[in-house]
Structure 1
Amino acid sequence: MCDRLRMIRSELSMTQEDMARIIGIGKSALSMIETGRASLSERNRNILIQTLNVNPEWLESGTGAMFNEQFPERTFLKGSDRPVGSQSVPLYNVEGTAGLVPLFLDKASRQPVDYIHIPNLPKCDGAIYVVGDSMYPLLKSGDIVLYKQLNDINDIFWGDMYLLSIDIDGEEYITVKYIQKSDKEGCVRLVSQNVHHADKDVEISRIRALAFVKASIRMNSIR
């Protein structure tokens, strides 16, 4: 098991800090697992399977492919979320709608490119394709995120993942980030999953649209 954790990190070009952050333990605890002085918990094992698409058979015995060919949808639920048995979530082309702001303001006039049907998700307002690698390896460019629109910055849960539209010199910047409290007054801190992207403090007044990421779908190219 310890060798296989190092193999996963090597394959994904991840440091111990990267891996520890994803599975929610300290670097020293991960080091102990990788050197055989501690065992991988069932919770950590499930995170590797669900978040990094690791093949559970390979993780357990070393047989088969390291990663599954297809990645299932992932949900990011709150205790207050109530699953909806069946819903049609509209998938939008953000470029075609000229950004999140007009999409959020007038969803009725925007034509979806398709609809997504996944049972037992919490209520979602829409879905868009991810652009960029700031949330890699949790999300990669081309994946789909399903979101619930928020109207008040005070409704956020610190540390959770959000879809945002930010005003930068009069232009809209759309991104998916973790939102954390900032030491700077009137700001929030945007944190990436990708350690090569630095954290950034952004003035709350520059956030033009905000949505909680409820689920994501990994898009794989099978050749």
Structure 2
Amino acid sequence: MTEIERLKIIMERLNFKTQKNFAAGLNIQEGSLSDILRGRIGISNAVRDRLFLKFNVNLEWLEKGTGEPILKKGPVVSETKAGVPYFDISISDMDTLLLEEEKADYFVNYKPFNDCTAYLPVYGDSMYPKYASGEIIAVREVTNLEVLQWGEAYVVMANEKSNHLRSIKLVFEHSNKDKLILRSSNPNFKGDTIIDKASIIGLYIIKGKITRNLI
């Protein structure tokens, strides 16, 4: 059975009678869903995220046929402000304004991370295997740069003095208290980045992640 065939089964399991209604539930154009179901385009990460977050679809089953199509429990998603906002955007395209609730795609009510500031998707492999591309991270804003957890992962946003850096990095103490050491967890991304604390315009500690096989 192909992934497209399994997607059609999921549509039936979720009681969507028409492609139009299913596309609306996924917040995509009906034509885009038609192209997916006809095999003209693949299922994007954004669509996979919505299947998982909005409908508790087991993405392991969708991709490989492993387990059950629908998970028994998981995050609850709504378009009302009930929970933590999810922003479907690459970190490299972020600025602080994009974390305003009014610009959220939807809200995720998931008790372990309800004290967080936002959910964000992971793109790229610089933090693999700690955070893999396609996973969703829960982040909480840090306002005091003098109290950091060394060795933990943060979303770092810097100004023009640090080349507008937007990245997930492990943060380590520098011998100069006015600087920070940033490091990838993927050994293929070698070398440290040193930035001034003063150049940071946004810092978010990663409290956890939602993996595709969350039960």
Classify the TM-score, shorter chain.
0.5 to 0.7
The one-letter code matched in structure 2 to 1:209 is: G
**3-state SS, counterpart of residue 183 of structure 1:** coil
**3-state SS, counterpart of residue 155 of structure 1:** coil
Query: Cα distance, 1:95 vs. partner?
Result: 5.7
For residues 88-114 of structure 1, give each alpha carbon's deviation from its aligned partner in whole angstroms, at most 9, with x where no partner exists. 121013469x6232235xx24x32112
Q: Please name the residue that 1:211 is paired with.
A: 204
CA contact (8 A) 1:184 1:201 kept: no
Q: CA RMSD in A?
A: 3.1
Matches within 5 A, 1:31-110: 88-94=83-89, 99-104=94-99, 107-108=100-101, 110=102
Matching residue within 94, 102, 126 for 1:134? 126
For residues 53-106 of structure 1, give each alpha carbon's deviation from its aligned partner in whole angstroms, at most 9, with x where no partner exists. xxxxxxxxxxxxxxxx69xxxxxxxxxxxxxxxx6121013469x6232235xx
**3-state SS, counterpart of residue 113 of structure 2:** coil
TM-score by length of 1: 0.52
Q: Please name the residue that 1:165 is paired with.
A: 157
Work out the percentage of aligned pairs sharing the same amino acid: 20
What stretches of structure 2 of length at least 5 have no aligned partner?
A: 1-65, 68-81
CA contact (8 A) 1:189 1:200 kept: yes
Matches within 5 A, 1:109-124: 110-121=102-113, 123-124=115-116
**3-state SS, counterpart of residue 140 of structure 2:** strand
TM-score by length of 2: 0.53
Q: Which has the higher contact order (CA 8 A, sep 6+)?
A: 1
Query: Cα distance, 1:167 vs. partner?
Result: 2.7
Query: Cα distance, 1:139 vs. partner?
Result: 0.8
